[in-house]
Amino acid sequence: MQSLAKNRTTALRVLHIIDSAGLYGAERVLLELAVEQQKLNHIPTIVSIGSPGCGEKPVERAARERGLPVRIVRMLPGPNLRGALQVLHLARDEAADVLHSHGYKGDILLGFLPRRLRSIPLVATVHGYTDVSGLSRMWLYHRVDRLALRCADRVVLVHRGMTATRGLNRLHDRRWRVIENGIPQAAPVSSASSADTSSFVDDDIVRFCKSGSVVIGAIGRLSREKGFDLMLRAVGQIARDRDDVVVLILGEGRQRAPLERHARDLGLGDRVLMPGYRSNAKDYLRLFDVFVLPSLTEGLPIVLLEAMQAAVPIVASRVGGVPNVLDEGRGGLLVEPGDSSALARAILRCIDDRALASQLAEYSLTQSSSRFSSRVMAELYLELYLELYREVAAAG
Specify the 3-state DSSP secondary structure of 82: helix
Q: What is the mean pLDDT of residues 80-84?
A: 91
pLDDT at 37 over 50: yes
Of residues 138 and 196, more confidence is placed in 138
Cα atoms in the 13 Å half-sphere on the side-chain side of 315: 32
Res 393: pLDDT:
72
Dihedral angle computed from the Cα positions of residues 221, 18, 106 and 33, in that order, rounded to the nearest 10 degrees:
-100
pLDDT over 90, % of the chain: 72
What is the average pLDDT value for the chain, to the nearest integer? Answer: 89
Over 269-320, what HEC string results?
HHHEEEEECCCCHHHHHHHCCEEEECCCCCCCCHHHHHHHHCCCCEEEECCC
Q: What is the mean pLDDT of residues 30-40?
A: 96
Res 245: pLDDT:
97
Res 200: pLDDT:
57
Strand-pair partners of 72: 48
pLDDT at 368 over 70: yes
pLDDT at 204 over 90: yes
Res 257: pLDDT:
97
pLDDT-derived band at 168 (thresholds 50, 70, 90) equals confident
Across 22-31, 108-117, 182-191, 273-282, least confident range: 182-191
Q: Which of 5, 59, 72, 7 is nearest to 33 (CA)?
A: 59
| Buried-state track 14-46, b at ≥16 Cβ within 10 A, e below 16 | bbbbbbbeebbbbbbbbbbbbbbbbebebbbbb
Cα–Cα distance for residue pair 129/80, rounded to 1 Å: 23
Structural domains for the chain: 13-183+373-394 (3.40.50.2000), 192-370 (3.40.50.2000)
* pTM score: 0.85
Res 227: pLDDT:
97
Specify the 3-state DSSP secondary structure of 178: strand
Cα–Cα distance for residue pair 82/391, rounded to 1 Å: 30
pLDDT at 1 over 50: no
> Would you give the DSSP letter of residue 11?
P
Q: Is residue 139 left, alpha or beta, with left meaning phi > 0 and alpha meaning psi from -120 to 50?
A: alpha
pLDDT over 70, % of the chain: 90
pLDDT-derived band at 151 (thresholds 50, 70, 90) equals very high
Q: What is the mean pLDDT of residues 94-119?
A: 93
Res 128: pLDDT:
78
Res 199: pLDDT:
55
Phi, psi of 226, rounded to the nearest 5 degrees = -80, -15
Cβ(271)–Cβ(212) below 8 Å:
yes
